[in-house]
Chains A and B, each alone.
Chain A
Amino acid sequence: METPRAGSVIDGFTLTERLTSGAMATLWRATHPDHGMPLVMKIPILDPGADASMIVGYETEAMIHKRLSGPHVPRFVAAGDLARIPYIAMEFVAGTRLAEALQSAPLAVAEVVRIGIAISVALADLHRQKVAHLDLKPQNVMMAKGGAVLLDFGLSRHSELPDLLGEESSAPMGTAAYIAPEQVLGDRSDPASDIFALGCILYQMATGEEPFGRPATLPGMKRRLYHAPRPPRSLRPETPAWLEEIILRCLEVDRRQRYADAAKVAFDLRHPEQVVVARHRRATTSPGLGKRILARFQKRDEAEILGPSAHARREAGPSIILVAVDLSGEHDELAAAILAETQRLLAAREDSWLACLTVLRTEIIRETQTVDEHGRSLYINRLVSLKDWARPLHLREDRVSYHVIEAVSAADAILNYAGHNDIDHVVLGARASSAVRRHLGSVSTKVVAEAHCSVSVIRVKGGRTN
């Protein structure tokens, strides 16, 4: 095909302006009479002598991008026939590439957190669509008005489609500074690889340095299996301990220790007070010569170092569970039933996480009472009751949090919390039916109707109907 230039018309798309382009493809602003929105055309540079895998990268990108939707990917418009004119046409996303923002790294902690949450939310959305990006890096993240938008699916993997790129090549594919250790070894199946890359980006935002440099060789990339990066706080002491903890959990080589869900990374970034700083971390200094020689002879199996794919954990059950308990009156039997159901859900997945919530009703008209008849804070009383309720679950402190929320409407409080924190599963109780409740509608009815996730409604069997 001809070299594209401004004014070229390809399949009805008119190229208007060339954008900053990479070595592999040219990017153009474009228009099409059938599409009102501003467009971008990505046209690969395919020299006759070009690596044949380039075209496979395009094939992969078109195959996966066309199946993606939502606010965190550019809307797919069309792909050219690869045998004729390869291109991908998509929505133009206005914003700034993260790579630009990173030029002024280290960034303020609040900025690291804001961007980190945006990327985590975008990744969670991508992973929900069964796609692992596998080349997450600052150049491929656009910070737009509605959050982070992920670009370039040329190395991506859809769990239900053939991995033609991976099957035809055994070389590790990714970007040296951000590639996950399992990808270095050729595993292209785990969305947790994106969480490792996210850890690299968070590290870079917080410290101004790339955690593993940019090794040019395979042995250089493999170093990350055996050597942990310097802790962010040793480079930049003002980094909070909880942020270092989140970054290092993203960068765990052993996937049993790494976050399995991007939504949980977002949750932790939003709730620093809930992050429990681990007491034992990997050795942060290089081992001495003697140890290195010994390690050479006792080289552990690489698969063992990486641990199993996080896939099984993600499939086992919900990652973040919200349980709402009414502790305002005498509902002991119902509270016990809610506890039992919560225990069953938690048992499905050992790294799941529980948010316990109870609502302190406030009045709209009258001034709300904040202390009881003995002058004790109602808030503290309720928190004590909530912790007492959850005690039989015997959860470690890093698996549970407690929230007493003051609200007029319990249902709204539960729905807000669930929506804001990307909760996977809500558990709440329903009291026995009564005429008043049937008339006014119950908390559980509203939550079931409006929640964007699964909801278990617990009822005591054969309970009184008063």
Chain B
Amino acid sequence: MRIAVLTDLHANREATEAVLKAVDRLAPDRIALLGDIVGYGPDPVFAIETAERLVSDGALCLLGNHDQAAITGPSGMTPHAHDAILWTRTQLSAAHLGFLDALPLSAELPGMLFVHASARTPARWPYVTNEKAAAECLAASDAPLVLCGHTHVPTIYYARSGIEPVRFQPLPHVAAPLSAIRRHVVVVGAVGQPRDGNPAACFALLDTGRAEITMIRVPYDTQETARKIHAYGLPEWLGLRLHIGR
């Protein structure tokens, strides 16, 4: 089975459209959206309605911390994220919020678990940014493969019992192997706000038959997204960072 895994759309219409075009060409069997559909970006209505459409076509879709904040109001967020959520809440209808509110924190398919942040405590949104956090994520699940987002930096952790996981930065468009004698945490890069120094939108293509996962990068018009962020009075940095992928 081939699954396209998209995460952290962050209300970025240009990035989402570019990625969906690429996904279309790859014709996967399934699409998974790992949360943070909104937040930071200028097109929350577009992002939610796109997610709704994909879900009605059979996609999996999870709740992210920014989606949660859009429902309940921001708490404990960085100032930029906080401001963006306040603005996002002014844009969304009750129906939009209702869609977000119905999203689960995690989902399972045979041999894999999907979660926005970490399997450890999904509702507390911990970041899988190091080997220890990856080990904790795996300890909370039996699945050989855990797919998550949240950090915006594509990373794969390879774990074997009794040994600290090995961290690997997958190269764009190079299929990384998944191993039958290991468990894996795959942190998928962000569609709408990459932070690994590469401004191109990121998503992953998982191929269970070949036991491989590939981070695919899609360049998009960051100027246009930043222009809207500026025009809507969102924090300037949220536009600037898109140009540099930070």
Residue numbers of A with Cβ under 8 A of B are: 52, 55-56, 59, 63, 81-84, 160-162, 164, 167-168
Contact A164 B180 (CB under 8 A): no
Q: What class of interface size applies to chain B in its complex with A?
A: 10 to 19
Contact A161 B181 (CB under 8 A): no
Could you tell me the distance between the alpha carbons of A83 and B182 in the complex, rounded to whole angstroms?
9
Minimum CB–CB distance for B165 against chain A, Å? 9
Minimum CB–CB distance for A176 against chain B, Å? 26
Knowing A160-B171, A160-B174, A162-B158, the reply to whether A167 touches B166 (Cβ < 8 A) is yes
Set of chain A residues within 8 Å of B168, measured between Cβ atoms: 162
Contact B174 A55 (CB under 8 A): no
Contact A83 B181 (CB under 8 A): yes
Minimum CB–CB distance for A290 against chain B, Å? 46
Minimum CB–CB distance for B164 against chain A, Å? 9
B177 touches A (CB below 8 Å): yes
Could you tell me the distance between the alpha carbons of A161 and B163 in the complex, rounded to whole angstroms?
19
Could you tell me the distance between the alpha carbons of A231 and B179 in the complex, rounded to whole angstroms?
46
Contact A82 B163 (CB under 8 A): no
B238 touches A (CB below 8 Å): no
Contact B181 A55 (CB under 8 A): yes
Complex: chain A residue closest to B162, CB-CB: A52
Contact A162 B181 (CB under 8 A): no
Contacting A at CB under 8 A, from B145-190, are 156, 158, 160, 163, 166, 168, 171, 174, 176-177, 179-182
Identify B181's interface contact among A59, A160, A167, CB under 8 A.
Answer: A59
Set of chain B residues within 8 Å of A82, measured between Cβ atoms: 179-181
Set of chain A residues within 8 Å of B177, measured between Cβ atoms: 63, 161-162
Minimum CB–CB distance for A113 against chain B, Å? 37
Complex: chain A residue closest to B181, CB-CB: A82
Contact B180 A168 (CB under 8 A): no
Knowing A55-B181, A82-B181, the reply to whether A161 touches B176 (Cβ < 8 A) is yes
Contact B180 A81 (CB under 8 A): yes
Set of chain A residues within 8 Å of B158, measured between Cβ atoms: 162, 164
Contact B174 A164 (CB under 8 A): no
Contact B166 A162 (CB under 8 A): yes
Could you tell me the distance between the alpha carbons of A56 and B177 in the complex, rounded to whole angstroms?
13
Minimum CB–CB distance for B215 against chain A, Å? 12
Could you tell me the distance between the alpha carbons of A63 and B178 in the complex, rounded to whole angstroms?
9
